[in-house]
Structure formats: C-alpha cells, structure tokens
Amino acid sequence: MKKIAVFTSGGDSPGMNACIRSVVRTGIYEGLEVYGINRGYEGMIEGDIKLMKSSSVSNIVQRGGTILKSARSMEFKTPEGRKKAYDNLVTLGIEGLVAIGGDGTFTGAKVFHEEFGIPTVGCPGTIDNDIYGTDYTIGFDTAVNTALDAIDKIRDTAAAHDRIFFVEVMGRDAGFIAIESGIGGGAEFVMVPETQTDLNAVVKSLREPKASSIIVVAEGDELGNAEVIMQLVKEKIKDDTKDFKVTTLGHIQRGGAPTARDRVLGARCGMGAVRGLLAGETGCMSGVINNELVYTPFSECIGQHKPLHPDHLSLLDILRI
C-alpha cells in the first residue's frame, strides 16, 4: 500500500481535525502518500481530492469542525454514485481509506468496501458517543463540557429568579451527553431516550419548595423535546407562582476548540486507522476500550446498541434526593 485517503462525513465534531492531522502524519511517517477528500462522499464522487503534506495539517489541532468539510450525499446511496467515487480513487491510485464519522459514515463505508474491496478503517467522530466499539467518540467530551458550561451559567440566573429551567441538549437516539452534563451540572432530573420518563415523579419533586431547579432533556426523549415536556409539567403542577423557562443548546455543542481528551483520542484513533490499514485490517473501526486500541467490524459498530452505564443511571436517582 502506497496511497491512502482520509475524509470526514456526517455531523462535524470537535477533535476531527486532530484525527485528520494524525492520519496524515502517521501515513507520511510510514512512507505513504496521503490524500484528503473534501466534503465526504460527495467530494469522493466529484473528485474533490488533494494530496496532503505535513504542512497541510499544521495549526489545526486546536480548531473545531473539520478542515476537510462534510456534506450529505444522496448520490452515494446509489450504485452509480458509488461507482463514480471508486473510479476517482482508482485514477489517483488510492489503495486505502480512513473514514472519520458516525453511524451513517460507517454504513456507507461498509457498503462501499463490500462492493469494491478498497480496504477501509473508520474513526469514531460524533459528539453523541453512541458508536459501539469504543468507550468514547471523538467530540463527546467537548460537547459535554460545552453543555456543562451552559448549565452552570443557566443555574446562576435560575437561582437569581427562583426559576425552573428545562435545558435541551443534543441526543436524538442516545442520552450520553444529557447524562454526563446532567450529573456534572447537578441537574435534578435527566431525561433520555433510553429510559421511560416518570413525569409524575418530576411533578412531585418540583412541587416541593426549592429555590430553583435544572432539568436536562435529551432532544430524543420519548415524551418530546424540552418545550413539550415543560408544557406537560406546567399543566400538571398548575402553580402560577412557579416560573418555567426552556433553553435549547443546539449546535453550540458541536463547535468550539476540542478538549485535550478529544485531541488525544482523535490522534490515537487516526494513528490506529493508518497502522490498521498497513496491517491488513479492513471493514472496521479504530477505537479505544479500557485504554487499549481495538478494531471493531463496521457491522458491529452499526448493528449493536451502546448502552448507558448502569452507575450513571443509579447516580441520577441518588443525587436528586
């Protein structure tokens, strides 16, 4: 193997640039030519591919987002689109791919590998931490700390006005951000897609005299988003003296300078992806479990649900007392 390419796809996450940097410099260290594919699968189809040097990734480790950019590609979902992408890689002599992204990225990489056989190793780049095969995903730690900083600030104004705040964080299908930012931020309740929300328990707690309360809601909770849940609670409490507010953090969680943890994780997974390709690994993801670099098949990363840690769920019950 002499030439490989790296791309980012799906939602951006802090630490992707650290991963790109590691892929490029590990590849050069191992004697490879490394290409960067702009805008994910769409750029692969359009031939938006450039040779990268060590200097190409200078001064990016501290930046959020991704210098290779990301885009959705409906055309890549078609056999014709994937054939165009393959032909562009063959023209440049690219023999291996590093795909940085989440579930959708790995689904595309799995199909592409099965159809054309180009060795591919993924790196887990998503703030949601919902990918099986790694303890943490690149960007999760930064997203949690961003949410935590916001919760701390909201608590100040909640206490000043004796208000009840419902803070909505990202997590359409997974509650990892909500759980960790909720525990760290001292939330009275945390609502996540993985568990049934006991609305009566929430109402009972909020009826008790308290100066202020913070409830963290993952956007994918089964009862709805923070605005919907706030209205449900408000209707049940029926107390005009209580002041309810909703804050939706939104995409602020996806941006910003990555934490040291995300930079190191991105660098480690990037190095693991390149060395995995050279060692014959393919159709898999480079991740870290119990501080050990591991390779997990895409089929398992995509097909298995990553559960919340039981200790975290226990803490939510204990700490709300």
155 is in an annotated binding site: yes
CA 80 to chain CA centroid, nearest Å? 29
Helical (H) or strand (E) element with 184: helix 176-184
Residues 35 and 49: beta-carbon distance below 8 Å: yes
Encode pLDDT of 124-164 as tens digits: 999 999 999 999 999 999 999 999 999 999 999 888 888 88
3-state secondary structure of 204: helix
100 is in an annotated binding site: no
2 is in an annotated binding site: no
- Cross-strand partners of 278: none
Contacts of 228 (CB under 8 A, 6+ apart): none
Residues 122 and 16: beta-carbon distance below 8 Å: no
188 is in an annotated binding site: yes
DSSP string, 251-293: GGGG-SPPPHHHHHHHHHHHHHHHHHHHTT--SEEEEEETTEE
Distance CA 8, CA 319 (A): 39
Q: What is the pLDDT along the chain (321 residues), one digit of tens a residue?
A: 999 999 999 999 999 999 999 999 999 999 999 999 999 999 999 999 999 999 999 999 999 999 999 988 999 999 999 999 999 999 999 999 999 999 999 999 999 999 999 999 999 999 999 999 999 999 999 999 999 999 999 999 888 888 889 999 999 889 999 999 999 999 989 999 998 888 888 888 888 766 668 999 999 999 999 999 999 988 888 776 678 999 999 999 999 999 999 999 999 999 999 999 999 999 999 999 999 999 999 999 997 889 999 999 888 888 877
Q: Which segments within 183-283 are labelled E, that is strand?
A: 189-191, 213-218, 243-248
The 10 Å Cβ neighbour count of residue 13 is: 33
Superfamily holding 142-254: Phosphofructokinase domain (3.40.50.460)
170 is in an annotated binding site: yes
3-state secondary structure of 281: coil
Residues 191 and 229: beta-carbon distance below 8 Å: yes
Active site residue 243: no
11 is in an annotated binding site: yes
128 is in an annotated binding site: yes
Helices and strands, counts by H and E, the chain? 11, 11
102 is in an annotated binding site: yes
Q: Given this model, what pLDDT does residue 213 score?
A: 87
Cα Rg of the chain, angstroms = 22
* DSSP conformational letter for 121: E
Please identify which of the residues 12, 48, 87, 128 carries the catalytic annotation: 128
Model's pTM, two decimal places? 0.93
5 is in an annotated binding site: no
Helical (H) or strand (E) element with 120: strand 120-124
Domain boundaries, the chain: 3-139+258-303, 142-254
Helical (H) or strand (E) element with 40: helix 40-46
Q: Which CATH number describes the domain made up of 3-139+258-303?
A: 3.40.50.450
Burial 231-247 (b: 16+ CB within 10 A, else e): ebbbeebeeeebebebb
Fold match, 3-139+258-303 / 142-254:
yes
Distance CA 151, CA 291 (A): 29
